[in-house]
Chains A and B, each alone.
Chain A
Amino acid sequence: MSLLRYTLRRFAQAIPVLIGIVTITFFLANQIPGDPVEIMLGPTPAQEQVEAIRAQYGLDRPIHVRYFTYLSGVATGDLGLSIYYDRPVLEMILLRLPVTLLLMLSAFAFAVVTAIPLGVISAKRRNEPADHVSRIVSLIGVSTPSFWIGLVLIIVFAFYLGWFPARGLVLPWADPADVRGAATRVEVLRQAVHHLFLPMIALGTLQMAQITRIERSSMVDSLQGEYVKLARAYGVPESTIVRKHAFQVAQLPVITIIGLGLSTALGGAVLTETVFEIQGMGRLIITAINNQDYQLIMGTTLVFGFVYVIGVIVTDITYSYLDPRVTYGED
């Protein structure tokens, strides 16, 4: 019950931040040079046509009125109309968001699955060759631009070895009829994994490196804890100590770093989607910008913000669920 209440309170606390995101986005979008109506109708449109469009998109009203209209629109799920696509912004976002979320989740899954063993081995064999290798790998990982990793992966694994496709993404829940060369659900899944593999590594490497670094230092601390000394004194086997006693406690900072990594990963998704020509949220925002589709720019920017805020709340809740010391702020 208290966890539920904590969850609700965490979401309530996020409301001012969400309003702040809408505000920043709105005023940035209003700074964008160029007249959106002119872009729609060409350089010399008829006057009444311009006014009709202005009225249709609410551009004839003063800025504070538009701000509150937009804010109440966001609250009811109305993000306006995309001028470029001539469809509701929300519809476009709902079409693209699953692609980006799939990419992000797989990248984090890859990062966690590789980083935790690396970090644990590193901490267990501190200053031995295995530790040095793992530290060098993670140092390179945090220092390499994700889009360059993408380019190198494409050159080596798509062009040179031909193991994976160089572009695009297949959604695992796509209708087999829509996927080229796939007659069955299994075929679709196989293609989805095949397409996802390289972008997942490109986007996940930075997270992998960061998690490895935190996992290592956190495990080093944890292995020096009093409870570990006690367990050793009782003659508990070292492997059990590492697996049970030290490991669980060491995971809390890792959850924090995953939450922080979301921001980098969402930005990285824009780059990864560009490199692999994946039609997700990242490409959507770039298309919106290149076509000065300001409603779509606002919508995509604030959805990026919302996804991040929700992600941080989820990691906070996971943290409090796993940490027995957190009491959800009661007594």
Chain B
Amino acid sequence: MSINSATSDDDTPDDGDESGGGPDEVEARVGLRYTLKQVKQDTTARIGTYIVGFMTFVAVFAAFDYYVLDYAIAEAVLYNPETDPQNVRRLLPPVGMENQFGQGVLEHPLGTDHRGRDLLSRTIYGTRIAMTVGFLATAIGLGGGTVIGAVSGYYGGWIDDVLQRVTETIYAIPFLVLVIAFMTAFGRDLTFAMIGVGITAIPVFNRLIRSRVVSIREEDYVEAARAAGVKDRNIIFRHIIPNSFAPVLVQATLQVGVSILIVAGLSFLGFGAQPPTPSWGQMLSASRGYMLPAPTFSIFPGIAILITVIGFNILGDGLQDALDPRINN
């Protein structure tokens, strides 16, 4: 099945800057330092960085409070996002609004859920699950896809055929359905959600890395390294993979957003983080039963997902523009 990758520019010319203007510009157009410099100059990439940075900060804070302090900060400043409160005020609207359960109060700025838990607190602490899963699932996809793509592209022949047929088949099952089947078989909790979503991302990175490897394999410096007796493994990991940095970084950034969306969908269906752990998808799932009397319950977790995923998408788009050597600023 030959489907072109949606976002990658496989045949990006890397050597287009030889005649390109400017006095003695010998700066390397790869690597982390170059990336950071480009991102700083690109407005959209910068906004994306701010959103992603903020969400990461919230997630790290929430994780710290959960694992180390057992929600001490949450209880001191807001409310414990997991335990049901003692004098329950269920399904309160956000402050300044009114519904059949009462008037919004300042202590619960976004209102309360069906068990009287504070929605602001649960939305904030839901960031932990979303970001953890987003990053780890992408890491699994990236790791698996890089190894398979690199081996497949470098060796070619029957190894390539076998590996590509297998990843194609994985890709041929709609990924939400595949993850659901995978989780039914192995387990319904968050770990398997992460692994499942990671596996569905493998074909994306595999295709990207493989196409890079196939084009780089014949480059002079790889030939030179091979002639000098450098081991295959070292050629792949020291030369070929670092040279694929830019498109992979772009794809990985976008993939974090996609993973967050898929995991939210899984939680919505009851696969993933189990109650009472606060997660956005599961909050939305719970809110379904109260859409008529307390419509605002359904709003905020969705907005949290939206903002987070927008952050990764504009960062990814910005990186693509910033790192594309064909675009000269």
A300 surroundings in chain B (CB, below 8 A): 177
Interface size on B, residues (CB 8 A): 48
B298 located at the interface, meaning its Cβ lies under 8 Å from any Cβ of chain A in the complex: yes
A14 located at the interface, meaning its Cβ lies under 8 Å from any Cβ of chain B in the complex: yes
Minimum CB–CB distance for A175 against chain B, Å: 31
Report how far A286 CA is from B270 CA in the complex, Å.
10
Q: Is the CB of A145 within 8 A of B180?
A: no
A28 surroundings in chain B (CB, below 8 A): 181-182, 184-185
Report how far A155 CA is from B292 CA in the complex, Å.
7
B168 located at the interface, meaning its Cβ lies under 8 Å from any Cβ of chain A in the complex: yes
Flag the segment in B31-39, B110-118, B309-317 that touches A: B309-317
Q: Is the CB of A151 within 8 A of B176?
A: no
A139 with B176: in contact, given A145-B264, A151-B284 (CB under 8 Å)?
A: no
B165 surroundings in chain A (CB, below 8 A): 16-17, 20
B302 surroundings in chain A (CB, below 8 A): 144-145, 148, 151-152
B261 located at the interface, meaning its Cβ lies under 8 Å from any Cβ of chain A in the complex: yes
Q: Which of A140, A256, A304, A312 counts the most B-chain CB atoms under 10 A from its CB? A: A304
Interface size on A, residues (CB 8 A): 58
Q: Is the CB of A143 within 8 A of B184?
A: no
A259 with B3: in contact, given A20-B172, A145-B305 (CB under 8 Å)?
A: yes
In B244-303, the 8 Å CB interface with A consists of 257, 261-262, 264-265, 268-269, 281, 284, 287-288, 291-292, 295, 298-299, 301-302
B180: contacting residue among A148, A270, A312, CB under 8 A = A270
A24 surroundings in chain B (CB, below 8 A): 169-170, 173, 178
A159 surroundings in chain B (CB, below 8 A): 291-292, 295
Report how far A289 CA is from B183 CA in the complex, Å.
10
Minimum CB–CB distance for A222 against chain B, Å: 17
A13 surroundings in chain B (CB, below 8 A): 1
A94 located at the interface, meaning its Cβ lies under 8 Å from any Cβ of chain B in the complex: no
A316 located at the interface, meaning its Cβ lies under 8 Å from any Cβ of chain B in the complex: yes
Q: Is the CB of A275 within 8 A of B306?
A: no
B186 located at the interface, meaning its Cβ lies under 8 Å from any Cβ of chain A in the complex: yes
A154 located at the interface, meaning its Cβ lies under 8 Å from any Cβ of chain B in the complex: yes
Q: Which of B180, B287, B310 counts the most A-chain CB atoms under 10 A from its CB? A: B180
Minimum CB–CB distance for A96 against chain B, Å: 14
Q: Which of B4, B174, B264, B268 counts the most A-chain CB atoms under 10 A from its CB? A: B174
A268 located at the interface, meaning its Cβ lies under 8 Å from any Cβ of chain B in the complex: yes
Q: Mask for B180-223, Cβ within 8 A of A = 1, else 0?
A: 11101110000000000000000000000000000000000000
In A232-290, the 8 Å CB interface with B consists of 256-257, 259-260, 262-264, 266-268, 270-271, 274-275, 285-286, 289
Report how far A210 CA is from B182 CA in the complex, Å.
27
Report how far A308 CA is from B203 CA in the complex, Å.
16
Overall SS of chain B's interface: helix
B66 located at the interface, meaning its Cβ lies under 8 Å from any Cβ of chain A in the complex: no
In A1-48, the 8 Å CB interface with B consists of 13-14, 16-17, 20-21, 23-25, 28-32
A152 surroundings in chain B (CB, below 8 A): 298-299, 302
A267: contacting residue among B4, B265, B281, CB under 8 A = B265
Q: Which of A29, A145, A262 counts the most B-chain CB atoms under 10 A from its CB? A: A145
Q: Mask for A172-193, Cβ within 8 A of B = 1, else 0?
A: 0000000000000000000000
Q: Is the CB of B173 within 8 A of A289?
A: no
Q: Is the CB of B175 within 8 A of A20?
A: no
Q: Is the CB of B1 within 8 A of A304?
A: no
A20 with B310: in contact, given A145-B302, A151-B284 (CB under 8 Å)?
A: no
Report how far A4 CA is from B186 CA in the complex, Å.
43
A305 located at the interface, meaning its Cβ lies under 8 Å from any Cβ of chain B in the complex: yes
Q: Mask for B310-329, Cβ within 8 A of A = 1, else 0?
A: 10011000000000000000
What are 17 sample pairs from A and B whose C-beta atoms fall under 8 A apart? Answer: A14-B1, A17-B1, A21-B172, A23-B169, A24-B170, A28-B182, A139-B310, A142-B309, A143-B309, A151-B298, A214-B6, A259-B3, A262-B174, A267-B177, A289-B180, A297-B181, A305-B172
Chain B residues close to A by CB (< 8 Å): 1-4, 6, 165-166, 168-178, 180-182, 184-186, 257, 261-262, 264-265, 268-269, 281, 284, 287-288, 291-292, 295, 298-299, 301-302, 305-306, 309-310, 313-314
Chain A residues close to B by CB (< 8 Å): 13-14, 16-17, 20-21, 23-25, 28-32, 139-140, 142-148, 151-152, 154-155, 159-160, 210, 214, 256-257, 259-260, 262-264, 266-268, 270-271, 274-275, 285-286, 289, 297, 300-301, 304-305, 308-309, 312-313, 316
Given A143-B306, A274-B269, 10 extra CB contacts under 8 A: A17-B169, A25-B181, A151-B291, A257-B6, A264-B175, A270-B177, A274-B268, A285-B180, A301-B177, A305-B177
